[in-house]
Amino acid sequence: MTIESFQHQHTAHCESGVMSTLLKHYGLDFSEPMLFGLSSALTFAYLPMIKVSGMPLIAYRMPPKTIIRNSCKKLGLQLNMYKFSSPAQGMQKLDLALQNNQLVGLQTSVFWLPYMPEALRFHFNAHNILVYGKKDDHYLISDPVMENPVACPRIDLERARFAKGALAGKGLMYTLDLSKPINHCIDLVPLIRNAIVKNARQMQAPLPFVGIKGIHLLANRIQKLKKSRKSDQYKKLYLGHIVRMQEEIGTGGAGFRYMYASFLQQSAYYFPTNQQTLLLDAAKFMTDIGDNWRRFASRTVKLCRNLSENGFYDVAQLLHQVADDEKKLWQMLIKAMK
């Protein structure tokens, strides 16, 4: 059972990569950045009330499945999505879909996928992959973070699909509903405009933990940390956690900014000249912002190694600058979409 026509893609992020590959298989040629942008998936959230290994949750994109659901909704597509009460049911449903020559998306745990390099395995239960076939007791997998397709034993895939803990997928699988004709002539201009405006509102939300305000809040917390009574060990763990959440979990803060910049660049050519110029300028500005996110991560690592009062101040000020730049960017984009 193998879909011979299937073409693997190596992409930057699992969810947007899976959706790009899935749609391309059915004749809808949308890039990963385009689907990420159309889903209004870019954000920032600093949530001290939610803990990850005892530290505040810091997020740079909307919650898992946002890209899957929003991209299909925007493009007028329907997904069949299933969760299961038992692993046996989930694996049986997967086999049936493959027998029907369907390309199948799965939500899995990175930790239990045996083909993952050991250094990249951690308990994250919202990693998306595609299954395009089965040979003997091994499933043929297109994992967006891998350069080439891989094979995975049944027992390991079952364990990865039904791992317990935060974001547990309960065997989540999804296939494109082909019962209705797919529209291959989609007017992207209104979809892009609405997606950008929606994302701008998300980033400028009047909530202290979200968007621009959330970035400023994290910067203030870093600056206050220098005079905190917390131990140096705690401070180093806190700073290290910030960098890990930004650069190691998923695509990271800078990576998502670069992807959105690519979305803006691709979108520009669907608009008249004046709007095209504004979108290309915004794409360049977003790339510069991504560079500053990376610079922030680099300086935070240095501070983590050698705590200093000036270091806390410098790192916090750089993050405040990032927040101010993002505010200017979203105001620029709202103007471009009028």
- Structural domain boundaries in the chain: 14-30+78-176, 188-336
Q: pLDDT-based confidence at 1, cuts 50/70/90?
A: confident
Residue 254 has pLDDT above 90, yes or no: no
CA distances from 27 to 7, 33, 177 (A): 12, 17, 14
Q: pLDDT, tens digit, for every residue of 54-105?
A: 888 898 989 889 999 999 999 999 999 999 999 999 999 999 999 999 999 9
Closest of 234, 239, 229 to residue 304, by C-alpha = 239
Place of tokens 């045996």: 114
Question: CA 269: distance to chain centroid?
Answer: 24
| Radius of gyration, CA atoms only, the chain | 21
In three-state secondary structure terms, 4 is coil
Residue 286 has pLDDT above 90, yes or no: yes
What secondary structure letter does DSSP report for 10?
-
Closest of 329, 61, 11, 36 to residue 195, by C-alpha = 36
- What is the distance between the alpha carbons of residues 111 and 90, in angstroms, rounded to a whole number? 19
Least confident of 41-45, 67-71, 177-181, 277-281: 177-181
The half-sphere exposure of 141 on its side-chain side, counting CA atoms within 13 A, is 27
- Work out the average pLDDT over 32-43: 96
pLDDT (0 to 100) of residue 165? 85
Could you tell me what percent of the chain has a pLDDT over 90?
A: 80
Residue 251 has pLDDT above 70, yes or no: no
Closest of 323, 289, 291, 307 to residue 239, by C-alpha = 307
pLDDT (0 to 100) of residue 250? 55
DSSP per residue, 98-122: HHTT--EEEEE-GGG-TTS-GGG--
Residue 107 has pLDDT above 90, yes or no: yes
pLDDT (0 to 100) of residue 121? 78
Q: pLDDT, tens digit, for every residue of 127-139?
A: 999 999 999 999 9
pLDDT (0 to 100) of residue 191? 97
Distance spanning both ends of the chain, measured CA to CA: 50
CATH superfamily of 14-30+78-176: Cysteine proteinases (3.90.70.10)
- What is the distance between the alpha carbons of residues 29 and 98, in angstroms, rounded to a whole number? 23
Query: What tokens appear for 110 in the block?
Result: 């990175």
Residue 246 has pLDDT above 90, yes or no: no
Q: What value does the mean pLDDT of the chain take?
A: 93
In three-state secondary structure terms, 50 is strand
pLDDT (0 to 100) of residue 264? 98
Residue 252 has pLDDT above 70, yes or no: no
